[in-house]
Structure 1
Amino acid sequence: MNQKVRNFSRNWHRDIAYVFVGLIISFSISGIALNHRPTFNSRQYTYQTDPLQLNLTQNQDEITEDYVKSLIPEIGVANEFRTFRIQNGKLRIFLEDALAEVDLKTGEGETQFFGRRLGLAEMADLHQTTNPYWVWYSDIFGIAMIFIALSGMFISGGKTSFKRRGWYLALAGIAFPLVFLFLLA
């Protein structure tokens, strides 16, 4: 590769990386957090847990949305009702920034109150938003990442060039996700 192509690649690689450095860091952090969502909620954390005792009907067919809404004053919260679910013998009442979970047989349970993880919650929201303007920006970012990856192959010359050393490292970098995609998924 001649020096002119290397200089072009280096300059554009550097400048595009500067433009997208904030998004690269944001997507990296929120991506790590989203990878661990079964054990870690990147958007919220529990800041208070209160015990709860409710007098529930023993007939599960009577547990409707209206019935669950009638329980909210008994729970003692002013949070807005979102939805409910019966799962594994428990009634889960989802409220704005709170969750009440009650054993259907005993009526015992707890209410958990949540707060947002500042910064991390917003990064996760960006990672998953469907706003059309953001989608366009993210698409441009994706194209820029492809350019950064490809232009990085032509920055070095000599012993560390793509032709001499880089191709097998790139091949390993391509093979690793393919192994996960086809063998472990």
Structure 2
Amino acid sequence: MKQKQIRGLHRDLGYFYIGLIIAFAFSGILMNHREVWKPEKYTIETRQIQLQLPAQELISEKYIDKLKEEIEIDDKLRRFNIKEGKLKVSFEKNDVEIDMKTGAGEVVSFIKTPFISQTMKLHKNTSNWWIYYGDVFGLSLIVIAVTGAIMIPAGKFTFKKRGWKLALAGLIFPLIFLFLLA
């Protein structure tokens, strides 16, 4: 490829993906801190409940449907599990947590944060078309990185003279994090 073609490819892919790069960066920051900020949703009501729960082996989807009526939730079930002695039920707009021994629990009702919750879906979406679009995006980012590295033809700031050291440092940092700190 000629220098002019490399620059053109780099520029055009950069322009095409600039919105997606910004959206992914924004939603990625939110995803990194989702346990602290809870940016995807905000609580509108919290109420305490007291119930008599059956034995753990009797808790099924059918039981959860009855529980929904008992605690006055009109919502679609997402999932439920029993972990560390607590029944945790997740609905579209409510989360329920009940202590299996005491029956004491809490219902947290929430609303999805407009725009932010939709943006965060960029990182969570698993539909086939989005996966393939994400693959094309990933390959395009590789092309943008490579064309950016070889775009400068001569001088002291070329990839060959200086850029490879920075690229290597940029690669080593996440590897150190993955293998030593994670």
In 1, the alpha carbon distance for the partners of 2:151 and 2:172 equals 22
TM-score by length of 1: 0.82
Q: How far 1:150 moved relative to its partner?
A: 0.7
Cα distance in structure 2, aligned partners of 1:177 and 1:104: 41
Cα contact 1:30–1:42 (8 A) shared by 2: no
Unmatched 5+ stretches in structure 1: none
**Structure 2 Cα separation of the partners of residues 44 and 22 of structure 1:** 24
1:40 positional shift? 4.4
Q: How much does 1:72 deviate?
A: 1.8
CA deviation profile, 1:25-73 (whole Å, cap 9, x unmatched)? 111122222233443445333232122222334x334333333322222
Residue from 14, 26, 30 that aligns with 2:27? 30
Secondary structure at 1:23's aligned position in 2? Answer: helix
1:142, CA displacement in angstroms?
A: 1.3
Aligned residues: CA RMSD: 2.4
- 1:77 and 2:77 equivalent? no
Aligned pair 1:95/2:86, yes or no? Answer: no
Map of 1:173 onto structure 2: 170
Q: Which amino acid aligns with 1:163?
A: K
CA pair 76-30 structure 1, distance change in 2 beyond 3 A? same
Identity %: 43
Aligned to 2:6: 9
Q: CA deviation at 1:107?
A: 2.2
Letter in 2 for 1:180: F
- Tell whether the 8 Å contact from 1:5 to 1:154 is kept in structure 2 after alignment: no
For 1:169 and 1:80, locate their aligned partners in 2 and report how far apart those are by CA, in whole Å.
50
Query: In 2, distance between residues paired with 1:61 and 1:144?
Result: 50
Query: 1:168, CA displacement in angstroms?
Result: 1.0
Partner residue in 2 for 1:126: 122
- Work out whether residues 90 and 103 of structure 1, in 8 Å CA contact, stay in contact via their aligned partners in 2: yes
- Counterpart-to-counterpart distance in 2, 1:106 and 1:23: 48
Counterpart of 1:52 in 2: which secondary structure? strand
Structure 1 position 21, deviation (Å): 0.5
The alpha-carbon distance between structure 1 residues 93 and 21, as it changes in their structure 2 partners (threshold 3 A), is same
TM-score, normalised via structure 2 length: 0.84
Give 2:47's aligned residue.
50
Count matched residues: 181
